[in-house]
Amino acid sequence: MESSVVEESNDMDTVQSLKLSQAGARKVLDEALGHAHRLGVHVTVSVVDDAGHLLTFARMDGVELYTIAISQAKARGAALTRFPTGKKSPTGNERTDHHALAITLAAGTDSFVSIPGGVPIFSNKQLVGAIGVSGAGGNDTEIARLCAASFEQ
């Protein structure tokens, strides 16, 4: 994935960066719910800002309650690591179960999730947020990737 790029201002003590707006977060959420509906699955979707703070959230009817925490953790993990959640590392290596669990425990379950379905959202090569989808098994990642890719400019 691409790393965050910030533009230096005239004041060398600050940088300018893009932020995901509430309207932008809502567009990502609505698109994810639309994809889920077209696939015939029910999901919980969380959209966070670049620091992992929740901007918007929805749980479709019939989705298990535990998907709330999982979707938020996936979104937060993707934002904080700037890489999709799952067992694949940024270098492309597949982590063993032991390694994925060790990293999760070391980093904290608030920062790292080894379950696929969290994808960072970039705009002009800057991280602006992330989406986490839970409840649709293998479709979680597909829905999240489609929404994140459609947002990139």
Nearest to 134 by CA among 42, 48, 44: 44
- Please provide the average confidence, as pLDDT, over all residues in the chain: 88
pLDDT of 1 reads 44
pLDDT of 58 above 80: yes
Residue 53 CB burial class (10 angstroms; 0-12, 13-18, ≥19)? exposed
pLDDT of 7 reads 59
Cα dihedral across residues 21, 25, 30, 35: positive or negative = positive
| Contact assessment for residue 127 and residue 120, using Cβ atoms and an 8 Å cutoff | yes
| Contact assessment for residue 140 and residue 43, using Cβ atoms and an 8 Å cutoff | yes
Q: Which amino acid, 109? A: T
Say what the pTM is: 0.85
Burial 21-44 (b: 16+ CB within 10 A, else e): eeebbebbbebbbebbeeeebbbb
Alpha helices in the chain (DSSP H): 22-39, 66-81, 97-107, 139-151
pLDDT of 5 reads 56
Q: Which amino acid, 147? A: C
pLDDT of 2 above 50: no
